[in-house]
Structure 1
């Protein structure tokens, strides 16, 4: 069964939160696709993932980098899954594809954006109605994730 997680950003931007989540996914041996809301955002995240920390290498790519199958983390603005990922991150209110084929889907949303909050609530309801295992995580004041539901 697909597990759907909702990560509510508070106090830290996506650029600070996404890289460690992707690193943990790779440590677990998962292939990941990250779906953004636009090509511009995809390209900005692509550049950021190369430089987010001096002592880290996060292997990733986009369609511009060649075959998606070669990328453990694939960034896209579409609903494709060219690297055969079992984990899908959705950021910037990206419209999800069918999530049933994934082991895990992760919605990361900005808690200061009312539209993003409303959309996350809608996605929560859709996930529950589809019979997925749905959980909600919120950032604490120290930046750690706490399960709230």
Structure 2
């Protein structure tokens, strides 16, 4: 069964969730996990695509924007994909969800990381996602992340 981790950030800065998502993706990549970073919009996916190249001076995370016309051999060879909307077309172990809702395809992943920002809207959406998973019997863990961690 899929394990779901909620990372609750103290940092209320607008980009805190995205910066923390990059750190989480980097950790999963270093552990040799394939990752799908799910966003709420194409614009958010493009922002994350850029941020993954620049968030840390010494890091390198090979990634690609997911797209219906993405070459399957490139998709299979790239450990991290960033996308929105449709179910990703590659097998990954970890889903990092930056959307405000639970993606319909979440259960195909071994682990789901839900990142909760500091503003009231994000917290309300996160409570709904938490309730969704809990009501379906998923294993849930909550991690409080201090403002210096993002």
Relative to the length of structure 1, the TM-score reads 0.85
1:44 lines up with 2:47 in the alignment = yes
Question: Does the Cα contact within 8 Å between 2:101 and 2:125 map onto a contact in 1?
Answer: no
User: How do 1:104-115 and structure 2 match up within 5 A?
Assistant: 104-112=111-119, 114-115=120-121
Question: Which of 128, 132, 141 is 1:135 aligned to?
Answer: 141
Q: Please, which runs of 5 or more residues in structure 2 have no aligned partner?
A: none
Cα distance in 2 for partners of 1:88, 1:97 equals 12
Question: What is the CA-CA distance between 1:92 and the residue it aligns to?
Answer: 4.0
Structure richer in helix, relative to its length: 2
Q: Alignment RMSD, CA only? A: 2.0
Aligned pairs, number: 143
Contact 2:9 2:147 in 1 (8 A): no
Residue 43 of structure 1 deviates from its aligned partner by 0.3
Q: Secondary structure at the match of 1:100?
A: helix
The answer to whether the Cα contact below 8 Å between 1:87 and 1:103 also exists between their aligned partners in 2 is: yes
CA distance in 2, matches of 1:19, 1:106: 12
Q: 1:70 offset after TM fit, Å? A: 2.8
- Determine if contact 1:10/1:138 at 8 Å carries over to the other structure: yes
Corresponding position of 2:131 = 125
Structure-2 change in CA distance of 1:63 and 1:100 (3 Å) = closer
Contact 1:49–1:58 at 8 Å: present in 2 too? yes
Instruction: Confirm whether residue 66 of structure 1 aligns to residue 70 of structure 2.
Output: yes
**Preserved contact between residue 33 and residue 88 of structure 1 (Cα < 8 Å):** yes
Counterpart Cα distance in 1 of 2:139 and 2:125: 18
